[in-house]
Structure 1
């Protein structure tokens, strides 16, 4: 078995050995290159543009992915760097005046401002309310009407409260001018007249009504009567929307007096507070029945006057009513 294998190896190596032997046997010095016919050689197929090493390098670079390489950032123009220079002045002219006569455009702007000062009239009953409590059922009516625009309005407000079958406990009529001093608050200036309780009183009225943060509605009023007594009232409320139509409205109202007024049953200091909560369902935005509960408490001298008159200083009422505006 060794001889056939050795014979096969020699047979496979014999052509290479023969080529090497033939090449060494060639006498290159004896070759006459002068008689060689170079005209038959095709030199057009030869690449004289780049040496072999350069071509190999180009082939190596051809396979490289240069897409992820980014050019070096050049320094920006110093003029493009933001600085501390003041901004240009706000233009005070009107662009349309450069095209049309200024007098014509001034009249146009005046007409536009006049059209935007729209006037409206509304009638609103914030509470048409039935009150059930120990000692007799009662009622409460709070409403107002106004006419004017979004900046200035003339307002007439009525507040009446009492028990069925008896004379009204209180009837208050307010007439005032409301002026928007900013987007959130209105200044109130006018007069108030109380038909009940007896004796009647007339007051000068100064107030502020508006919207506090977190959508809290607030109103405060200061009153000075024709008899010289001074009173104040403050109210805050907030609409909590359970759904788009179901709304819960908690409210706190405080009444204060600067002095005792025995004929009115009012004591100095914090006179009365009322804490209530009403839940209304808006069948329409301007028509909403409601139910709720109210707790009214007289304090200090006012509580003493109530006891002398045979009244309870603290009353809890269950209420049902309607809120509507037209």
Structure 2
């Protein structure tokens, strides 16, 4: 009897050790599977009955039977996979929006339309804002001393206007005096009408006081700015006795510094027929080019130095040679330029 009790005690002790060993393995493996989960509240924990049933999920070889465990019944919805899937779906949708053809901005930035631009920037209605305002401008472009072959020469070239943005009254004047005697002098009075932001058409009269006897011309032409700040004038004239003429002028300001400016100029004069009384022949009568370097002490006032070259052509050159005059001449010049 004592021997039977001892055998029963040994058998019970062995079963207890086996149970402890089995419980330890189940605890380690359950800890390993818990790494797949994220923390959640107490309501998301599985029932206690699932933990106890895992101890019987082993086969004879001591290996864990995953089919008998809670993997089949594991509720993955309790994890954060749903939240992660929603985030990934939003990111993929954002990327697809950026990759759609014609889309240059994220979907949360609206694309500007013509209506939006018109609402932000009202279109200007021509010159209606300043059309009634009366303004004026005067430019003494050249007022200079020239070292000519005949002696010292005083030359001038001035222009100005008064009016509004569309309609203006213009005047132009140029000439020269040599040794105190006026050699050439003229005055033009013109009406100008804007045909664009940079161009005007002009029409009026031109009066020549010299050379020889005075002469009156009807004048019409265009003036404005072309080719990046190139000032240009093209004027045609019809004079007394059916005489015709045309003049092309241009100048351009080259900014060497903010105040030091180099200005090339050019002028061409054409006539329709010979006028021996004034020493003018038909065709291209004469041309003058110049190069002046000025320094703007203030914007309205600038002294300058430079050089000019003029030449007679065709019948005008023949008449000058007959009078003992030079066909061409170069002059050093020094003067001032001002405007207000």
TM superposition score normalised by structure 2 = 0.67
Contact kept in structure 1, 2:268 and 2:287, CA below 8 Å: yes
Q: Counterparts of 2:70 and 2:171 in 1: how far apart (Å)?
A: 105
Q: Which residue of the other structure, out of 164, 171, 175, is the alignment partner of 1:156?
A: 171
Partner of 2:189: 175
Deviation track 1:81-128 (CA, whole Å, cap 9, x = no partner) reads xxxxxx99xx9xxxxxxxxxxxxxxxxx9xx94865211133321111
Unaligned runs of 5+ in 2: 1-12, 19-45, 52-68, 101-113, 119-124
Asked if residue 234 in structure 1 is aligned to residue 248 in structure 2, the reply is yes
8 Å contact kept, 2:131–2:166: no
- Pick the aligned partner of 1:205 from 216, 219, 238: 219
Q: CA deviation at 1:47?
A: 4.3
Measured after TM superposition, the shift of residue 238 of structure 1 is 1.0
Q: Any idea what SS the aligned residue of 2:182 has? A: coil
Question: Does structure 1 residue 131 correspond to structure 2 residue 146?
Answer: yes
Deviation at 1:170, TM superposition (A): 0.6
2 CA distance for matches of 1:152 and 1:192?
19
- Can you give the 5+ residue segments of structure 1 that lack an aligned partner in the other structure? 1-17, 24-42, 77-86, 92-108
Distance change in 2, residues 1:55/1:198 (3 Å): same
Q: CA RMSD in A?
A: 3.5
- 1:323 is matched with 337
User: Aligned residue for 2:257?
Assistant: 243
Confirm or deny that 1:225 pairs with 2:239.
Answer: yes
* 2-structure distance, mates of 1:114, 1:177: 22
- Hey, what's the Cα distance between the residues in 2 that align with 1:302 and 1:46? 125
Q: TM-score, normalised by structure 1?
A: 0.69
Q: Deviations over 1:128-185 (max 9, x none)?
A: 11101333221111113422112111122221113123x2111101111111111111
Equivalent position to 1:146, from 155, 161, 166: 161
Tell me the matched-pair count.
257
In the alignment, the residues of structure 2 paired with residue 71 and residue 149 of structure 1 have an alpha-carbon distance, to the nearest angstrom, of 61
Assess, with a 3 A threshold, how the Cα gap between structure 1 residues 201 and 53 changes in structure 2: closer, same or farther: same
| Aligned 8 A contact 2:136 2:163 in 1 | yes
